Amino acid sequence: MANLPRHARYDQMFPVLEPRDIERLMRFGTNVTYDAGTRLVTTGGLAPGFVLLLSGEIEVSQRTALGQRQAIVTYGAGQFTGELAQLSDRPSLVDVDVIQDTSAFLIAPDRLRDVLVQEAALGERIMRALILRRTNLLELSAGGPVILGRSDSADVLRLQGFLRRSVQPHRVLDLNRDPDAAALVERFHIDVHHLPIVLCPSGKILRNPGENELARCLGLVRRTDDNKLYDVAIVGSGPAGLAAAVYAASEGLSTIVLDCRAFGGQAGASSRIENYLGFPTGISGLALMARAYNQAQKFGVEMAIPDEVRCLGLEQDGASPTFRLEVGDGNRVRAQTVVIASGARYRRLNLANIAQFEGASVHYWASPIEARLCEGKEVALVGAGNSAGQAAVYLASQVAKVWLLVRGACLASSMSSYLIERIQAQPNIKVVLRTEVTELLGDEGLTDVSWRNADTGEQTRRPIGHLFLLVGADPNTDWLADCGVAVDPKGFVTTGANGRHALETSLPGTFAIGDVRAGSIKRVASAVGEGAQVVAAIHEYLSQGRNLQALSKGVS
């Protein structure tokens, strides 16, 4: 029985399995018993696996920032413990305690993935419950790290944005607004000049950490096995990379995905995608990408996110080469094939002081975090593509006015018609054509934005504290320097030359998909299609290598 308020999808979140369902799971695990008072899992530690209760009771609870304990749910016979952390064998976000002598059935994390694949109907119920439980933890802000600092600080926003895009529960305590923040400062003897700090579930305190340091503290990313040889390493976890991961792993290829930020790419930052097949009412980019991320883990894809690939190397071992990806902290990943899905970097405006305002006042996406900062205010948004249109419409529902600044003479050449119609229907969106931002003003924060009309030279200055830039992106290909992968004059990876597969680069065994590929269509659906298509090319390449190895052995 749950200790939570009745949830609309309560029965899906906490299903009670029938005896016939339990019987089907018996081949995947072992019988265990736990005495009352046993702690099965401590927040920040690894769970033993998926625990299915046959009798007894187990309680799940969270610890608040001040160390107080709050019960979340109590499981009884026929119910099971766990949420998405158990699927990927990541540290627990909650405490799990046995409150009555319990007889149970234990399924290890790798065998849980076998359940999800081999028992389709039952696996679907379990997977849905794991996802809904994570969603519930997000809504409760339960079990994750606590960020202590000013809520409008650029570093707080950076950390909060990373955790949100990584679908990690967390809380932000503002020293100026939240009494608990002051209590924490006193309790841990924190110098306010060191803010922001992060209190990890394990109890460790981080002072203004980078994303990778925070991810390692939370157990999201771990050192990879230098000796393991993957069938395919995918660099980038946007729509193209995640699609390739899902199709590759579901077809039996050992797969690892690496990304230097968070999964989802630019699509994950989109407030709403309405022209993706199968979602007539639209879906947020983060929700769509989170589904893909969970789907990839279901098939056993190993995730190294955030873990930045520094360079690509090649080792010749027999008939087939082995690729070597140099990753941060001196780590490396070895694979038989590499898929380049590293997407693009957000393009910046050429303004002398723009770095001064980035993070707190200048933003490269429009999520609920940024929208809360701008609520009821005027904002400026630069861009004319679909991402800019989606952001403008989303912000218009939150702010007083959106100035949509467009360098070109019209929107029709770069934006879908449905978005143009929607923008025209919003009374608080003002489209200004043939315009470029010329100056950002302010000391500690942005206070004014100036722009100029390219035809008349007329200057406009408005009291605006938040500027959104969605002006396209440059290919993220610096890490490919000197490795033999050809790029075009703009830096996009070229494919299909000299009779190669349409997605294969100039370096045999490496493939490029999505926004990073020269000539690709910059749409989510196209990226997903290329992610699916590349797996066939990988199979073909690997089979050729195996045939060459067999031939060389036969000759010898």
What's the CA gap between 368 and 164, in Å, rounded? 10
What's the CA gap between 281 and 389, in Å, rounded? 17
423-470 residue pLDDT tens: 999 999 999 999 999 999 998 889 999 999 999 999 999 999 999 999
- For 3, the token pair is 């200790």
- For 64, the token pair is 């608040």
SS3 category, 265: coil
The sign one gets for the Cα dihedral 518, 328, 257, 215 is negative
Q: Which candidate, 48, 47, 49, 102, places its Cα nearest to that of 74?
A: 102
- The pLDDT value recorded for residue 407 is 95
- The pLDDT value recorded for residue 7 is 58
CB 147 within 8 A of CB 244: no
The sign one gets for the Cα dihedral 93, 97, 102, 108 is positive
- For 525, the token pair is 């659906």
CB 105 within 8 A of CB 26: yes
What's the CA gap between 51 and 82, in Å, rounded? 8
Compute the half-sphere exposure of residue 324: CA atoms within 13 Å on the CB side of its CA: 11
Residue 421 one-letter amino acid: E
Tokens 């305002």 sit at which residue?
357
For the chain, give the mean pLDDT. 91
Contacts of 397 (CB under 8 A, 6+ apart): none
- The pLDDT value recorded for residue 110 is 86
125-139 residue pLDDT tens: 999 999 999 998 898
The sign one gets for the Cα dihedral 183, 186, 187, 191 is positive
Average pLDDT over residues 176-199: 85
Long-range contacts of 23-26 (CB under 8 A, 24+ apart): 24/119, 24/122, 25/52, 25/105, 25/107, 25/115, 25/119, 25/122, 26/105
Which helix (H) or strand (E) segment holds residue 247: the answer is helix 239-250
- For 252, the token pair is 């039996």
Helix, strand and coil in the chain, % to nearest 5: 35, 25, 40
Which helix (H) or strand (E) segment holds residue 216: the answer is helix 211-218
Contacts of 191 (CB under 8 A, 6+ apart): none
Q: Which of 45-59, 205-219, 268-282 has the lowest mean pLDDT?
A: 268-282
> Does residue 550 carry a pLDDT above 90?
no
